[in-house]
């Protein structure tokens, strides 16, 4: 083997090692936000916000249409009453798995087995419910504001929003 070939082989090994060392922090930076322990906090916050929006909408009487009440009952009331396959049960199961993680190695192993994917799916489900609810309450508030202006009342009270909303509020023990 000529001496020039040996120099090129040594340079190849050195550059490969340096490249691997340089890419390790980039890979860790890419991986860390995708680990289950990093993802769970965002999902818990989205869950709490979705519950708050739902409770506020019910308390303010913003869900009145029967079809939409049925839709939100199927999607959001499950959130509040912990029925089968609800977001609450899914979140509790995921939290139990994530909170059991003690080491970085366990975190990576759970990520590799798909725990982060399951968290992501729940997050998308909650985001979808939250977006639907926010759109609905926004539209309903606009309608109520238009009714208020049209009536010209100054007492600040708008009429109750129907028997269905009252029934749901009573089930959740809201004022």
Q: Around Cβ 9, how many Cβ atoms within 10 Å? A: 11
pLDDT tens track of the chain, all 175 residues? 555 565 567 888 888 888 889 898 998 899 999 999 999 999 999 989 988 888 888 788 787 666 776 666 666 555 555 444 577 788 889 999 999 999 999 999 999 999 999 999 999 988 988 898 888 888 888 887 887 777 765 444 444 445 555 555 565 555 5
pTM over 0.95: no
């Amino acid at each position: 083997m000529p001496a020039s070939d040996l120099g090129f082989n040594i340079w190849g090994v050195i550059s490969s090692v340096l490249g691997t060392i340089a890419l390790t922090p980039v890979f860790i930076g890419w991986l860390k936000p995708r680990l289950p322990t990093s993802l769970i906090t965002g999902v818990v916050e989205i869950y709490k916000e979705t519950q708050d929006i739902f409770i506020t909408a019910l308390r303010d009487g913003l869900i009145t249409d029967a079809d939409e009440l049925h839709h939100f009952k199927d999607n959001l009331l499950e959130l509040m009453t912990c029925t089968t396959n609800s977001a609450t049960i899914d979140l509790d199961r995921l939290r139990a798995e994530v909170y059991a993680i003690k080491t970085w190695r366990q975190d990576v192993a759970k990520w590799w087995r798909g725990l982060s994917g399951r968290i992501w799916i729940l997050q998308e489900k909650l985001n979808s419910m939250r977006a639907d609810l926010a759109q609905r309450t926004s539209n309903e508030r606009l309608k109520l504001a238009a009714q208020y202006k049209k009536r010209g009342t100054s007492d600040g009270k708008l009429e109750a929003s129907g028997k269905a909303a009252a029934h749901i509020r009573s089930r959740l023990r809201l004022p």
